[in-house]
Structure 1
Amino acid sequence: MILLKIIGLTGGIASGKSTVTAYLRELGVKVIDADQIAREVVCPGQPAYQKIVAEFGGDILLPDGELNREKLGSIIFQNPLARKKLDQITHPAIFREMDKQIEEFKVQKPDGVVVLDIPLLIETEMQKKVDEVWLTFLPEELQLQRLMERDGLTRSEAAKRLSSQMPLKEKIKFAHRVIDTSGILLDTKKQAGDCWQKINQGK
């Protein structure tokens, strides 16, 4: 009996994961995006939104009532305890929605392959629930430079954000397949395509 195959795609901030997921979608792959779900579960009126406001106060809201993600991000990146509290609020809601979407896809294509795009795959031990772990990887110095350029951060600010995450050199221990994103875009796409082809060939 052929069963649904679940791939867990992870990486770190500015590691090229979004580039890989975008290309996988171009190939027709079903991708469930944890970050997108995370944005949806904290919309005004959602239970997680109400808990976040109760925990962090009204100062983290924009005039229209939406969460000020930049302000909330600056709080949690500087305060590990605050980050833990936010995770405790949002993670259960995110994982429930992911499970729901997996089941819906399974009904449509019980022998298919689905990719879960989860930045904190290893940190939340979700790697235990997937068949394979794919990791986007690049040297830390290059990751730091790309983060500075992408978000307009100082070196110190970027380094602080990287230090709040598990290093890629630690995550690589859990990976079944590694996509090196340090080169040009064409190289990254080729590696992602090769990984997808091997999955379809049962390799």
Structure 2
Amino acid sequence: MTAMAERHTGTRTATEQQRAEQVGNVRQQAVRYVWAGVRIALGWTFLWAFLDKTFGLGHETESKAAWINGGSPTEGFLNFGAAGPFKDFYNGIAGSAWADWLFMLGLAGLGVALLLGIGMRVAAVAGGLLFVLMWTVVLPPESNIFMDDHLFNAAVLAGLALTAAGDTLGLGRTWARLAIVQRLPWLR
């Protein structure tokens, strides 16, 4: 059978199959790098928020309001940003030490985990929870009755974990070989 006849009948030649596999491999590699870039960008977003709130770097947090200068990283957002059905709850915990510590540890931990590509499952769950809670602070969202960037970012975190985004440009594979991660795969 000639190559023309093989193409006509729907079968591929070995060369055509190799080309298709190469294209598939290039596409898969590109997808891995895109997800790694998204992971690093989101990790930097968390780490920057931690650094700015801790040291008052002047972007969102003035020096006098920095955590190290006695400011509260949760007070402003939870007191003045809260709206909707959970407003009283969030106003009540605004500025409390436990909320400040939990929030700041979350920002730092998520930032480091995402930047390094480690603990992606834990980071996806913890970060997703943080984003959903932040979404509930501002209910209903200003720009859309339902969807806003908090829910979108929670979904992105799920995508990062599901695609093993920490393995590309990160320490995900090394992390996965640790004995504790082998014993407790949810730490992957």
TM interval, short-chain normalised: under 0.3
Relative contact order, CA 8 A, sep 6+: which one is greater?
Answer: 1
TM-score (normalizing by structure 1): 0.26
Query: Between Structure 1 and Structure 2, whose CA radius of gyration is higher?
Result: 2
**Larger helix share, 1 or 2:** 2
TM-score (normalizing by structure 2): 0.27
